[in-house]
Amino acid sequence: MSRFVRASKYRHVFGNATKRDQCFDNLKVSRNAWDTNLVKANPLFISINIEASGGGAFAVIAHGNTGKLPENLPVYNGHTAAVLDTDFNPFNDHVVASASEDTKVMIWTIPQEGPKESISTPALTLTGHGRKVGHVLFHPTADNLLASASADFTVKLWDISKGQEKIELTGHTEIIQSLAWNYDGTLLATTCKDKKLRVFDVRSNKVVQEAAGHQGIKGARVAWMGNADRFCTTGFSRTSDRQVFIYDSKNLETPLKQETIDTASGMLMPHFDADTSMLYLAGKGDGNIRYYEWVDDEKGLYFLSEHKSAEPQRGISFLPKRAVAVNETEIARAYKVHPTAVEPISFKVPRKSDAFQSDLYPETLGAEPALTAQEFFDGKTAPPKLISLETGYSAAPAKEFVTSAPPPEAVTDKVPQTDKEYQEAYHNLRKENEDLKNQVSNRDARIRQLEAQIEGLSKK
């Protein structure tokens, strides 16, 4: 056996577990079965989906507010059904979007030090999906541009500065399982329950690439690999082996790399760090987080090591690179979801010198947008604006979120005169509205499914 060990500055990366008193403890984490990461992080806050009776809620917690949290933790509780996903605006640390089973997407503002009391009224409500909204994802270069994916088989792009739906992406025949933007936000990759992998040119609403993905019956995820024309997917084989595929986004016929991980049952949640070319894989229900290095050669994916823990994870999110502790040679920080807590895990490269390690920290994504949403929809493209971490990172002052969305239309119906009339009118209208919404959404979903199947047959 050869004793040669491939040289890599990331070979000895290790993950630091956090003591319980430095975690975000005493949380009622959502038990909803929908497949998302449950948690998101930005340089100032984390957001976590919360179990709530009679509606949906999520909490936003400042990084410094660790330890045992109060029972009456302030939450955002404007949704009428379970919150399924959240995402922070990458260009405004005090704006967060939420998606819910109530078919709505809501935009919320965050007070300077985090919420001190529960908030029920969003800054903006986006309606238009016919079924529950399972995913929200902000654009990587254009300000105030949000993508949302729904169980009505569509992805909608919103300009939240105007409160307008700009584009609807169609072509899926089943529930959309994950979304990922490419480096400059011109392409959007999706995985779907129909086991297809699709790449959309979002401004022309065209599927520019489509291929069969993982063939297992469980879900799949996708993550773009920085500024390369490649992305990775995680999923299952027909025999329920967990897999990782690396694709060239210009040719999806055959993966560049196929790796079988193991036979565990939990979904693999991928995160690719473009600055270090490291791929982190955290399995739902696993106690470990594996990490690999991607090198553009014949082998491609090199296993580095894993962070081991006896505590299984329900979800995970990574801190934006601009906010890591460069003075501690921290190259990544993950937020791991436990049943009642969120644990920060710091990944570090052991170095003796206290000087800035320029080889570990190339210029990374900054907090300034390269485009406005309108410029993007007008056809302009620009790469993300990068910043140096040599002098460390300090959060920008809070920016006020302003939207020109029109106010809701005034109600012109006759107001009931008595309590009994009011209750009867309310229940009748609510039942009628729910019946009509269900009929329309079911028909729309069926029409899209049939159209996609007809289009698929016409291509054969």
The pLDDT assigned to 29 comes to 95
With a pLDDT cut of 90, the percent of the chain lying above it is 75
The enclosing H or E element of 187 equals strand 187-192
Give the C-alpha distances (Å, rounded to integers) separating 353 from 16, 21, 327, 349, 350.
19, 30, 10, 11, 9
Check residues 446 and 219 and name the one with the higher pLDDT. 219
**Which residue shows structure tokens 């404007």?**
78
Identify the CATH homologous superfamily for domain 14-387: YVTN repeat-like/Quinoprotein amine dehydrogenase (2.130.10.10)
CA-based Rg of the chain, rounded to a whole angstrom? Answer: 22
Question: DSSP class of residue 131?
Answer: S
Residue 443's pLDDT band, with cuts at 50, 70 and 90, is confident
Strands 14-16 and 341-348 turn out to be antiparallel
Q: Report whether pLDDT(49) > 50.
A: yes
Tokens coding 387: 């910043």
Largest CA distance in the chain: 88
Cα separation, 16 vs 33, whole angstroms: 29
Lowest-confidence segment of 14-18, 127-131, 296-300 by average pLDDT: 296-300
Backbone phi and psi for residue 458, each to the nearest 5 degrees, phi listed first = -70, -25
Cα separation, 443 vs 250, whole angstroms: 34
Q: How many residues can be counted in the chain?
A: 460
Cα separation, 176 vs 195, whole angstroms: 10
Cα separation, 241 vs 25, whole angstroms: 34
Strands 67-68 and 24-25 turn out to be parallel
Q: What is the mean pLDDT of residues 72-76?
A: 94
Strands 39-41 and 24-25 turn out to be unpaired
The pLDDT assigned to 417 comes to 55
Q: How many helices (H) and strands (E) does the chain have?
A: 2, 34
Residue 411's pLDDT band, with cuts at 50, 70 and 90, is very low
Tokens coding 12: 């000895």
Alpha-carbon torsion (130, 132, 138, 143), positive or negative: positive
Query: What residues does each domain of the chain span?
Result: 14-387, 413-459
Residue 15's pLDDT band, with cuts at 50, 70 and 90, is very high
Tokens coding 341: 């807590």
Cα separation, 321 vs 312, whole angstroms: 25
**Which residue shows structure tokens 């520019």?**
208
Question: What burial class does residue 439 get, using C-beta atoms within 10 Å of its C-beta: 0-12 exposed, 13-18 middle, 19+ buried?
Answer: exposed
DSSP string, 4-49: -----TTTT-EEE---GGGSEES--B----S-S-SEEE-SSEEEEE
With a pLDDT cut of 70, the percent of the chain lying above it is 94
Nearest alpha-carbon partner for 85 in 123, 58, 112, 52: 58
What contacts 63, CB < 8 A, 6 or more positions away? 44, 45, 46
Residue environment code for 147-169, b if the CB has 16+ CB neighbours within 10 A, otherwise e: bbbbbbbbbbbbbbbbbbebbeb
pTM score: 0.87
Residue environment code for 114-145, b if the CB has 16+ CB neighbours within 10 A, otherwise e: bbeeebeebbbebebbbbbbbbbbbbbbbbbb
Residue 272's pLDDT band, with cuts at 50, 70 and 90, is very high
The pLDDT assigned to 402 comes to 83
Residue 392's pLDDT band, with cuts at 50, 70 and 90, is confident
pLDDT per position as a tens digit, 144-200: 999 999 999 999 999 999 999 999 999 999 999 999 999 999 999 999 999 999 999
Nearest alpha-carbon partner for 258 in 319, 316, 215: 215
